[in-house]
Chains A and B, each alone.
Chain A
Amino acid sequence: MSRSEILGAIRRGLRRGPLPEHETLGLYARLNAHPRHLIPARSRLPHPAQVALFIANLEKEFGTCTRVASADDVPGAVADYIASQNLPSDFAMAPHPELQAIPWHNRPLLQAREGRAQASDLVSVQHGYVGIAETGTLMLPASAGRPTTLNLLADTEIVILRSSRITGAMEEAWDILRSEREGMVVGNFLPRNVMFITGPSRSADIESTLELGAHGPRRLHVVLIDDQAAG
């Protein structure tokens, strides 16, 4: 009822009926090609400079970053960060193969519990999908190995990201997601959620003054694995 009313009212306003087929073909072509618009020049850089820009923008938005040479160094970096912030050494961790392959046993004090986050978790460790240099943004698509609650419930979120996964602009991040998730069973290539996170949670609702840690994590820390040499 409402559906035909609304569509009818739109067509009356546009002074036409439903679009003829030759016109819809053009619109479907635009959807299928999903053309890019102007991409700002600021992220059109050689890759090492994009990595540096990602870190600079992340820090500008109150995130922090530690760079490590390989996945073997991640447990040490996480342990150091946790100690420096006086955080507990148990955390909820994304059940992602790349995180599972990290030698956590090198740091026996760290206790990782795999799964989604619970309300009582103070620290979460998340798998970083792509980093966007233009704005220092993390792209985190939901999946069985990357639960959304890890981005939201803990006081401190630590994201493990490989530097080869840093791109210039959001358009390139979409291209990676499109190519890697083609042919998904449900719907299209998009999962339930794709979160883009730029720094820790904040609000300026009290007297228009910025405070960190509104509802989401108060701290956002990225451990960046320099995997360029390995390709």
Chain B
Amino acid sequence: MLTTSPDFKANTTRSMNDAGLQKALARTRPRFPASRAAAVAKLPEFEQLRDIGRDIKNHTLANLDFYLEVWERNVINAGGHVHWASNAEDARRIVLEICQRVGAKTVTKGKSMISEEIAVNDHLEKHGIIPVETDLGEYIIQLRNEPPSHIIAPAFHLNREDWEESFRRAHTDLDPNRVFSERRDIMIEARTKLREKFLAADVGITGANFLIAETGSSVIVTNEGNGDLTQTLPKVHVVLASIEKMVPTLEDATNMLRLLARSATGQDMSVYTTFSTGPRRPADLDGPEEYHVVLLDNGRTGMIGTEFQEMLRCIRCAACMNHCPVYQTVGGHSYGWVYPGPMGSVLTPSLIGVDKAGHLPNASTFCGKCESVCPVKIPLPKLMRHWREREFERHLSPTATRSNLAIWSFIAQRPSLYRLTTRIAAKVLALLAGKKGRLAALPLAGGWTAGRDLPAPEGDTFFARYARQQRGEA
């Protein structure tokens, strides 16, 4: 997928002025955190399960080469095929080869962020194969030729009128005067249209929430059932999975499942959790005849052994972005690549380079909410800080930022100078603010004061007050 991450600042300005997006954000903002909180409150063991989840993933990553090899053997034993792909180009080529070998005309797709990462849809289309996204949210954004704006709710940024308009434009065989009186009508139309696609598809492509070494299985989790129709009806099932999806056993996966749905949508379990192992067995009456897994690296092995290894624990639940004040203000498209929000701010620079995605780890207030809700306890603020340090070390941050930081650090390392400067600044700001105690505009900080006033200092520094208190004064 092409990135607009370098344009993060322009993207956010556009997003904040996008009335439709702001309406959608206002609707969604309270829902995810409330659902998660309710689900967690009903499970007293949740904190312990988070620690166990973190430990399972750490154990797996420390032995990832071993578990990948065991998993591969078990996939082959069950009659499946494993294709190792170092990068997006390899993965696209492998998928296309499978599709071409079986003479595929249409391919249905379950939701997969890896699929976005390797931009496989464009590649298939270029070679005359029609990919059809079947998750409702993915379907509408495919019709609109947009990228997803959220990793589990890809079309949350759209409003009803957008759905109706896109459906009228795409489904031209239906009565143009039909009425969509409820959301339900939109869903029924999508269900009918996509049912035809499920039945006609030659290949079904899904993602994987987990891979299981013990059994050579891949796991998908959906609420709609689209992933299951995608992987059951066509002749060929192709799984796109990245290396860090691995867990050792079914019991390990079970612990992760107790965390995933609660952290994501606030459900105890998603509606469909399906473990797939190889193709249909000889006596089976349905299921695919071929089962392939495309195992993708695409930059992840480069994170192993670095401070970013912890990011590979991520199970893509989206709790971090659902609770992030920055994401909830600017939406997902601003981040400019596949993965938005705090997890994207850490992962994107790792996968496409800090030179392109350096803005993302800077878009954080470091409030720490993301880390506090992460089901596998990834220290996201700490990792974003690591990226800021790297960006600074590589001289990628803007000159103004660098020189201001240099001035600040010069002053901060000299206590008496620091106290003098802050004392003067506090007095000047208090004078400027006058009786109101607030500043409506401030030189060099116009962007900040455009949307709100700056509360002015009351004319004193912390040190002055502290000293006074030590002397026993009020």
Residue of chain B at shortest CB distance from A30: B248
Complex partner residue of B286 from A13, A61, A147, A206, CB under 8 angstroms: A147
Contact A9 B268 (CB under 8 A): no
Contact of A14 among B44, B62, B195, B275 (CB under 8 A): B62
Instruction: Check: A38 CB closer than 8 A to any chain B CB.
Output: yes
Stretch from A68-76, A158-166, A207-215 that touches the partner = A207-215
Query: Which residues in A have their C-beta under 8 angstroms from that of B27?
Result: 207-208
Contact check, B297 vs A207: say whether CB atoms are below 8 A apart: no
Q: Chain A's nearest CB lies how many Å from the CB of B73?
A: 10
Known: A5-B86, A119-B199, A202-B224. A186 touches B278 (CB 8 A): yes
Within 8 A of A (CB), among B259-312: 265, 267-287, 291, 295, 297, 301-306, 309
- Supposing A149-B286, A188-B74, A188-B277 touch, asked if A208 and B31 sit within 8 A by C-beta, the answer is yes
Among A199, A204, A205, max chain B CB count under 10 A is at A205
A209: B residues at CB distance < 8 A: 183
For window 39-97 of A, CB contacts with B under 8 Å fall at 40-42, 57, 61, 95
Q: Which residues of A contact B224 (CB under 8 A)?
A: 201-203, 205, 214-216
**Bound-state Cα–Cα, A175 to B225, Å:** 26
B100 interface contact, C-beta 8 A? no
Chain B residues in 8 Å Cβ range of A170? 254, 257
B42 → chain A closest CB, angstroms: 8
- Assess A27 versus B63: contact at CB under 8 Å? Given A14-B304, A187-B74, A215-B226: yes
Known: A24-B66, A187-B74, A206-B136. A215 touches B225 (CB 8 A): yes
Chain B positions within 8 Å of A135 at CB level: 268-269
Q: Are the CB atoms of A216 and B74 closer together than 8 Å?
A: no
Complex-state Cα separation, A191 to B66, whole angstroms: 24
Of the candidate stretches A98-106, A136-144, A223-231, the one touching chain B is A136-144
Q: State whether A13 touches B301 (Cβ < 8 A).
A: yes
* Residue in chain B with minimal CB distance to A218: B191
Complex interface: chain B residues within 8 A of A214 (CB): 136, 187, 191, 223-226
Task: Report how far A185 CA is from B233 CA in the complex, Å.
Answer: 24
Chain B nearest CB: distance from A69 CB in Å? 29
A137 to B269, CA, bound (A): 8
A110 in the interface, Cβ–Cβ < 8 Å? Answer: no
Whether the Cβ atoms of A191 and B277 lie closer than 8 Å is: yes
Count of chain A to chain B residue pairs whose CB atoms are closer than 8 Å in the complex? 283
Count of interface residues, chain B, beta-carbon cutoff 8 Å: 106
Q: How far is the CB of A124 from chain B (nearest CB, A)?
A: 12
Residues of A within 8 A of B274 (CB): 193-196
Bitwise, A6-19 to B at CB < 8 A (1) or not (0) is 11011111110011
Contact B195 A119 (CB under 8 A): yes
In the bound complex, do residue A201 and residue B160 qualify as a contact, i.e. CB atoms below 8 Å apart? no
Chain A hits for B273, CB < 8 A: 137, 195-196, 198
CB closest residue in chain B, given A134: B268
Q: Which of B45-53, B372-380, B392-400, B455-463 contacts A (4 or more CB under 8 A)?
A: B45-53
| Contact status A187-B78, CB under 8 Å | yes
Whole-angstrom distance between the alpha carbons of A18 and B63 in the complex?
10
Q: Which residues of B contact A195 (CB under 8 A)?
A: 228, 272-274
The minimal Cβ–Cβ distance linking A22 to chain B, given in whole angstroms, is 13
Point out the residue from A31, A40, A194, A203 that lies within 8 Å of B249, measured CB to CB.
Answer: A31
Residue of A nearest to B70 (CB): A31
Instruction: Determine whether the beta carbon of B287 is less than 8 Å from that of A171.
Output: no
Contacts of B280 in A (CB 8 A): 142, 192
Of the listed stretches B119-127, B211-219, B341-349, B439-447, chain A binds B211-219
Verify A31–B153 contact, CB threshold 8 A.
Answer: no
Say yes or no: A186-B281 contact (C-beta < 8 A), given A171-B251, A196-B272, A205-B137: yes
Mask: chain B, 308-339; 1 = CB below 8 Å from A; 0 = not: 01000000000000000000000000000000
| A35 on interface, CB distance cutoff 8 Å | yes
B64 contacts the other chain (CB 8 A):
yes
Q: A152-B225, A186-B281, A192-B287 are in contact. Are A215 and B255 (CB under 8 A)?
A: no
Tell me the B419-434 residues at the A interface (CB within 8 Å). Answer: none
- A225 CB, min distance to chain B CBs, angstroms: 24
Query: B116: CB under 8 A from chain A?
Result: no
Residues of A within 8 A of B78 (CB): 186-188, 190
Contact check, B305 vs A13: say whether CB atoms are below 8 A apart.
yes
Interchain CB contact under 8 A, A149 and B306: no
Alpha-carbon distance A208/B150, docked complex (angstroms): 12
Tell me, yes or no, whether B355 is within 8 Å of chain A by CB.
Answer: no
Q: Which residues of B are at the interface with A, using a C-beta cutoff of 8 A?
A: 24, 27-28, 31, 43-45, 48-49, 52, 56, 62-70, 74, 77-79, 84-86, 90, 134-137, 140, 153-156, 158-160, 163, 183-184, 186-188, 191, 194-195, 198-199, 213-217, 223-226, 228-229, 232-233, 243, 248-252, 254-255, 257-258, 265, 267-287, 291, 295, 297, 301-306, 309
List 11 interface pairs A-B (beta carbons < 8 Å), by A numbering: A5-B297, A13-B306, A24-B66, A27-B67, A34-B248, A38-B45, A41-B45, A149-B233, A186-B77, A187-B215, A208-B28
